[in-house]
Chains A and B, each alone.
Chain A
Amino acid sequence: MNLKEFEGKELFEKYGISVPRAVIAGEPGEAYKKALLLFGKAGTGPGSGKLFLKAQLKSGKRGKSGAILECKLSELKKTFSSLLGKNFGGEKVRQIMIAEKIEIKKEFYLSISVDRYRRCPVLLFSDAGGENVEEQIKANPQKGHKLYLSINGAFPEERLQKLFNSAGCNQREAKETLKIANKLFLLFKNEDASLAEINPLILNPEGKFYAVDAKVVIDQEAIFRHPELEKRVTDGMSVLEKRAGKFGLAYVELDGDVGIIGNGAGLVMSSLDMIEVKGFRPANFCDVGGGASALMMEEALQLIRTRKKLRGLFINIFGGITRCDEIAEGLVSYVKKNKFNYPLLVRLTGTNAKQALKILKSAGIKAHESFNEAIRHSSNFKNET
């Protein structure tokens, strides 16, 4: 679950990481009032007197895409209105953060994430903070300083201090950065984060550090430990994806015109691939997982059928814990109640496949036992419009 900047910064503050003063607003009048109250008429005190307007989005790269603007308090309403409601990669701007501008003496990058290969947390630090830090590190690996951490052991303070030193921090800066890293790791552990990133981490001329942006990703599977986040899990999901979740199904919308139902992520992905080889594009898919009941199958069919103008539906089941007769019963029951005006291509094999084929046959539904053979019959999809 990707947190928005202000949600991430709320967590930073909870763990004592300083962030620039800021307010959040959803409309220009409110923005002006709140900003005036916090910053006063003169703007943000020392420095340029300018404010940052930052669209609150789940996607990154906001600077490049124009989702972060700069203005004076007197121009706030106008600039705010120009940003509000804009669309960035399918995400509409509903909330904007108005933050003070921090003067930059030095810029850093600091993050803790999960290393999939080593199966442990990894700290990444660079003295090249800002938008292009990933590209910079890629082009110039010695710019990125990495340290693998123990999820359960002590925080390696000495090694980190050395790391910060060799990454271009002086003694005092290294000490301060270490404090921030310590807090960030606490946040990472306590909040079940899979990413906690400060980019940029800015040192101002007065010698104070600020987390100027926050990118925090919380592991969805750990939400049971964070009931306060439960409501946010479904943010950004479509109505249908939410509904699928309730039934224990994985439903994903794509942009083609063939629906796909299968059991198990690998088999479903393979079904999508094979359908594409035949010249079709998947419109959506539903993974019924392991051990699906007839009722879950009906729900999966209902989800797929919400998509209009399909050319066909491919059902691909290899029964392991999933019983093919359950799947067949769900399918027959659904087809009796609802009409499909496009061809169904059914492939069933594995546990209780014989009974399943009988059930389908008696309802007049043809089914294949082999994946390969089923795919060959997908040419039927072409005849329909």
Chain B
Amino acid sequence: MSILIDNKTRVIVQGITGEQGRFHTGLMLEYGTKIVAGVTPGRGGQMIGRVPVFDTVNEAMKFCQADYSIIFVPAKNAMAAALEALESGLNIVIITEHLPIHDAMMILEEARKRKLTVIGPNCPGIITPGQCKIGIMPSDVFVEGSVGIISRSGTLTYEIADNLRRNGIGQSTVIGIGGDFINGLNFEEALSSFEKDKKTKAVVMIGEIGGDAEERAANFIKKKFSKPVIAYIAGKTAPEGKTMGHAGAIISGNTGTYLSKITALKKAGATIADTPWHVPDLLKKINPGIK
């Protein structure tokens, strides 16, 4: 089992004729993802490999049903693309970087109304190893297993998943929720899905400074999450008031600090990893047989 996506998930790619869209469609197909159609306005009728391209999501959906859309559309047009997908009833993964905050709010309000899932923006996507990848992450660092990963950082996810793989530990599902000021699926929602998933035996949470998503996740862990959680938080030494590469990674006054996050997580019973490479050992300490 897994959460959100599996080998039956059918996917549309929006922005499929762009350089990124085309390249990653190839890699996702290679991984085994069921990509059923692509969308680029004005490019309907073309083929990208074996994938037919349509002008609109609506037309694509008439041709074939789908569950998710992955959006590679540049920031200026990403909101229109996302709303189009939501109106067709699709869950979405927004890879696009530099999406304006107001556009993100519009998308997320629409998704909330329709009870659809949004992952991202500015994220690497989601992968259920061995079954389905809707994203841009390097496939070979992820292997099938029983640890769920939720993360605000792309490369740090690869780093930690790779460390797990080298220690014989695989993943049930890995979600990059994105590094923007606001994002769709959050830690709590992902945790609540992992709680219900029988295959997931433990969760690794990769957070960073800025905002209070980790503190809220801690609160959720305390009340409603029964599985072990290992947390790694980046930005221990980040100074106040500097945007640390991610739009959302900024300490403002006393909020968003490393200390506040690890204190809350520790109190909730999570184990804190001081370095990315301590995560496998900590998992094995809690559950020696974990794979």
A, B: real partners: yes
Say yes or no: is B30 at the interface (Cβ < 8 Å to chain A): no
One of B50-58, B195-203, B211-219, B259-267 contacting the partner: B211-219
Known: A192-B101, A263-B155, A320-B124. A114 touches B277 (CB 8 A): no
Residue from B110, B182, B245 within 8 A of A114 (CB atoms) = B182
Q: Least Cβ distance of A231 to chain B in Å?
A: 19
Per-residue CB contact flags for chain A residues 184-210 toward chain B (1 = under 8 Å, else 0) read 000001001010000000000000000
**B215-244 CB contacts (< 8 Å) to partner A:** 216, 232, 234-239, 242-244
B158 and A252 within 8 A (CB)? no
Contacting pair A372 B235 (CB below 8 A): no
Kindly report which residue of chain A lies nearest to residue B135, judged by CB atoms. Answer: A320
Q: Which of A116, A265, A268 contacts B213 (CB 8 A)?
A: A116
Closest to B236 in A: A273
* A117-B213, A350-B138, A371-B159 known; A269 vs B154 contact (CB < 8 Å): no
A-B contact pairs, 27 of them (CB 8 A): A117-B212, A117-B216, A119-B109, A120-B108, A151-B106, A151-B109, A153-B109, A192-B102, A194-B101, A221-B247, A224-B75, A254-B242, A264-B155, A264-B156, A265-B153, A268-B244, A269-B235, A270-B232, A273-B236, A277-B274, A290-B154, A320-B154, A320-B158, A321-B136, A349-B162, A350-B162, A351-B138
Of listed A121, A152, A250, A270, residue having the most chain B CB within 10 A: A270
The 3 A-B pairs at the shortest CB distance, nearest first, are namely A266-B153, A265-B245, A264-B155
Contact present for B101 and A219 (CB under 8 Å): yes
Please determine whether A265 and B208 come into contact, CB atoms closer than 8 angstroms.
Answer: yes
A150 vs B105: C-alpha distance when bound (angstroms): 9
Inter-subunit contact A189/B211 (CB<8 Å): no
What 0/1 pattern do residues 120 to 131 of B give for CB contact below 8 A with A? 000010000000
A317 CB to nearest B CB, Å: 8
**Nearest chain A CB to B9 CB, angstrom units:** 21
A contact residues around B141 at 8 Å (CB): 350
* B226 shortest CB reach to chain A, Å: 23
Among B81-108, those with CB < 8 Å from A are 98-106, 108
Q: A263-B155, A265-B153, A273-B237 are in contact. List 6 more A-B contacts (CB 8 A).
A: A222-B102, A268-B245, A270-B276, A273-B234, A277-B274, A282-B237
Q: Bound state CA distance, A285 and B141, in angstroms? A: 26
Interface residues of A, dominant DSSP = mixed
CB neighbours of B246 from chain A (8 A): 265-266
Tell me if A372 and B216 are in contact (CB < 8 A): no
Interface residue? B172 (CB, 8 A): no
How many Å from the CB of A352 to the closest CB on chain B? Answer: 10
Interface Cβ pair total, 8 Å cutoff: 153
- CB atoms of B245 and A219 under 8 A apart: no
A102-141 CB mask vs B (1 if < 8 Å, else 0) is 0000000000001011011100000000000000000000
* Chain B residue contacts of A225, Cβ below 8 A: 100
Separation of A133 and B105 alpha carbons in the complex (Å): 27
Q: Is the CB of B138 within 8 A of A221?
A: no
Task: Tell me whether A371 and B105 are in contact in the complex, defined as CB-CB below 8 angstroms, given that A276-B237, A320-B136 are known contacts.
Answer: no
The answer on a CB contact under 8 Å between A219 and B109 is no
Chain B residues positioned under 8 Å from A321 (CB to CB): 136
Q: In whole angstroms, what is the CA distance A121 to B104 when docked?
A: 11
Interface string of B145-168 (1 = CB under 8 A from A): 000000111111111001000000
Q: Is the CB of A265 within 8 A of B249?
A: yes
Q: Which partner residue on chain B sits nearest A189 by CB separation?
A: B102
Chain B residues with Cβ below 8 Å from A121 are 105
From B159, B186, B234, B242, A318 is in contact (CB under 8 Å) with: B159
**Among candidates B76, B154, B275, residue contacting A274 with C-beta atoms closer than 8 Å:** B275
Q: Name A265's closest neighbour in chain B (CB-CB).
A: B245
A206 to B184, CA, bound (A): 47
Give Cα distance in the complex from A265 to B249, angstroms.
8
Instruction: State whether B179 touches A265 (Cβ < 8 A).
Output: yes
Chain B hits for A266, CB < 8 A: 151-157, 179, 206, 208, 234, 246
A290 to B274, CA, bound (A): 25
Question: Please, which residue of chain B has its CB at the minimum distance from the CB of A253?
Answer: B242
How far apart are the CA atoms of A328 and B103 in the complex, in Å?
A: 37
Instruction: Flag A205-234 by CB within 8 Å of B: 1 or 0 each.
Output: 000000000000001011011000000000
Which of B156, B184, B277: most chain A CB closer than 10 A?
B156
The verdict on B270 contacting chain A, using a C-beta distance below 8 Å, is no
B186 nearest in chain A by CB position:
A117
Point out the residues of chain B lying under 8 angstroms from A277, CB to CB. Answer: 274-275
A270 with B211: CB separation less than 8 A: no
